[in-house]
Amino acid sequence: MLINAHGLSKKYPMGESEFYALKGVDFAVEQGEIVTILGPSGSGKSTLLNVIGGIERPDGGQLFVDGPEISAYTDAQLTIYRRDKIGFVFQFYNLIQSLTVQENIEAATNIAKSPLPIDEVMRAVGMYDKRDKFPSELSGGEQQRVSIARAVAKNPDLLLCDEPTGALDFETSKEILKLLESINKTYNTTILIITHNPALQAMSDRIIRVRSGEIVEDVPNPNKLPAE
């Protein structure tokens, strides 16, 4: 197993008391899986992804990724874990506006432990011909391709995508998801994708449904489409 989570919880202060955004979740993910995390807004999806990615610390439970117990890491260990093992893709691309496509990707690979060749990754996401463009010269879908390239070029074990198509139209969203599927096939990267659009789950192997900080369903994707 790549990820093993036991009783993971996360609380936030709420006025005088506290509020549990994750209430003891258990799950496991195998290397190479694509898992879609569905659930209404505020159900704890981002919190779950951020805990797995070492952006947030759990308040209870244990998280193992590729062997070690991440939930026992020091801050310094977590920083290295995020840098070497995790690629993040967010809804709003987060590209550096003053850098070109290629420079944005290099900014990530320069600090990575075992990066992939940049040219290869730019080709894989279909942005090689636009490598000298700046983010402001690109469409939303193209910017998301670059942000995926930036995450993938680090050669992470885990690609964590938080509403990667949330700002894109439906057709562009489908292209982005096809791209994620091809990344999964090419590099055997394990991918977790948050979406609240159930129409965008066709390519995932598994669906985890979250509600009020709990996993209420964890099933193989009944609508999995064969890769084209």
Q: Which residues bind ligand ADP (CB under 6 A)?
A: 12, 21, 39, 41-47, 162-163
Residue number with CB closer to ligand ADP (102 or 147) = 147
- Cα distance between residue 199 and residue 66, in whole Å: 31
Give the contacts of 126 (CB within 8 A, at least 6 positions apart): 145, 179
Q: Which CB, 142 or 162, lies closer to ligand ADP?
A: 162
Cβ-contact 108, 153 below 8 angstroms: yes
Cα separation, 226 vs 228, whole angstroms: 6
Min. distance of Cβ 167 from ligand ADP in angstroms? Answer: 11
Q: Which is nearer to ligand ADP, 47 or 104 (CB)?
A: 47
What distance in Å separates the CA atoms of residue 44 and residue 9, rounded to the nearest whole number? 10
As beta bridge partners, residue 8 has 25
- The smaller minimum CB distance to ligand ADP, of residues 163 and 181, is found at 163
Q: What is the DSSP string of 183-197?
A: HHHHH--EEEEE-S-
Least distance in Å: CB of 109 to ligand ADP?
25
Q: How far apart are CB 65 and ligand ADP at their closest, in Å?
A: 19
Nearer to ligand ADP, 162 or 181 (CB): 162
Q: How far is the CB of 117 from ligand ADP (least distance, A)?
A: 32
Min dist CB 197 to ligand ADP, Å, is 13
